[in-house]
């Protein structure tokens, strides 16, 4: 049985005043989530033998409970969070989830800490740690890269789709972004199967930048004729929780948001 949201107890935190800044995943319209940008790190790296043993017991319990429920999921790791008795669970080929210490409840979505002037996502630093390792494994030849003008001050990874209006809007400001010393590394993330051929054609083109510009303009590109990483990159996005484009991350794996103006992007990177 597939590991689906219908199998999981979902926790949703809603905040007013959120603006739409990304194109949704056409394959997962029923799985949309509001995303809140956060800046405070989560805590709870297991540091004692007791905690490590508790983590191992939780992994075993979760694995058994998944098996009993007919859920096909492999637990890779668990880490304690700042929330008492709540763990961050890494799954193979799937987005991480939360689990209670007894392994009886799984929670998908954001857990938000209140009490400060800003809302803080409990899992932010834990997910960023995972993202950073995954981004470091990407080969530059598999990406669509726009070099910074002059000395590079920052590198961002952007999941993009040529069919997404917000991706178009971000791309229109590429010159301004790179002029601020920001290198942009595009990762292919077609929002639905119908958009896969266009992105594969871009990635198979001799000049990806020209091909991407053409695809955004609505030009029908020749069918892909090479082995390409588009599907693998799409799966990467799913694994780390991408549910719309553009999705912008720092090289350290921190999620910055959807569409941002060059000024907003520069400000967040320098914060």
Q: How far apart are CA 223 and CA 204, in angstroms?
A: 9
Q: How far apart are CA 233 and CA 249, in angstroms?
A: 14
Cβ-Cβ contacts under 8 Å for 105 (sequence gap 6 or more): 9, 99
- State both tokens at 38: 């956060």
Kindly calculate the radius of gyration of the chain based on its CA atoms and give it in whole angstroms. Answer: 19
Cβ-Cβ contacts under 8 Å for 30 (sequence gap 6 or more): 5
Q: Quote the DSSP letter at residue 14.
A: -
For residue 128, say if its preceding peptide bond is cis, omega within 30 degrees of 0. Answer: no
Cβ-Cβ contacts under 8 Å for 238 (sequence gap 6 or more): 94, 95
Q: How far apart are CA 139 and CA 134, in angstroms?
A: 11
The CB-side HSE value for 118 (13 A sphere, CA atoms) comes to 9
Active-site residue set: 161, 164, 167, 191
Length of the chain, please?
A: 271
Q: How far apart are CA 187 and CA 269, in angstroms?
A: 19
Contact between 100 and 89 under an 8 Å Cβ cutoff? The reply is no
């Amino acid at each position: 049985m597939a590991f689906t949201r219908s199998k999981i107890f979902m926790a949703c935190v809603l905040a007013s005043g959120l603006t739409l800044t990304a194109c949704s995943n056409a394959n997962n319209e029923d799985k949309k989530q509001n995303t809140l940008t956060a800046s405070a790190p989560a805590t709870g790296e297991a540091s004692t033998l007791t905690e490590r043993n508790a983590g191992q017991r939780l992994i075993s319990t979760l694995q058994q409970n998944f098996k009993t429920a007919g859920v096909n999921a492999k637990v890779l790791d668990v880490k304690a969070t700042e929330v008492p008795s709540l763990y961050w669970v890494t799954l193979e080929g799937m987005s991480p989830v939360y689990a209670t210490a007894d392994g009886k409840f799984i929670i998908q979505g954001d857990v938000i800490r209140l009490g400060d002037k800003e809302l803080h996502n409990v899992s932010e630093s834990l997910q960023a740690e995972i993202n950073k390792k995954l981004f470091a494994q990407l080969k530059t030849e598999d990406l669509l890269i726009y070099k910074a003008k002059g000395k590079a001050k920052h590198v961002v990874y952007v999941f993009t789709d040529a069919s997404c209006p917000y991706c178009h809007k971000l791309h229109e400001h590429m010159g301004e972004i790179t002029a601020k010393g920001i290198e942009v590394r595009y990762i292919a993330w077609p929002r639905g199967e119908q958009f896969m051929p266009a992105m594969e054609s871009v990635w198979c083109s001799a000049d990806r930048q020209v091909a991407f510009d053409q695809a955004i303009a609505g030009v029908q590109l020749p069918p892909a004729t090479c082995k390409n990483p588009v599907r693998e990159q799409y799966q990467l996005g799913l694994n780390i929780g991408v549910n719309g484009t553009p999705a912008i991350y720092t090289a350290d794996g921190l999620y910055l948001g959807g569409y941002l103006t060059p000024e907003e992007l520069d400000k967040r990177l320098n914060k």
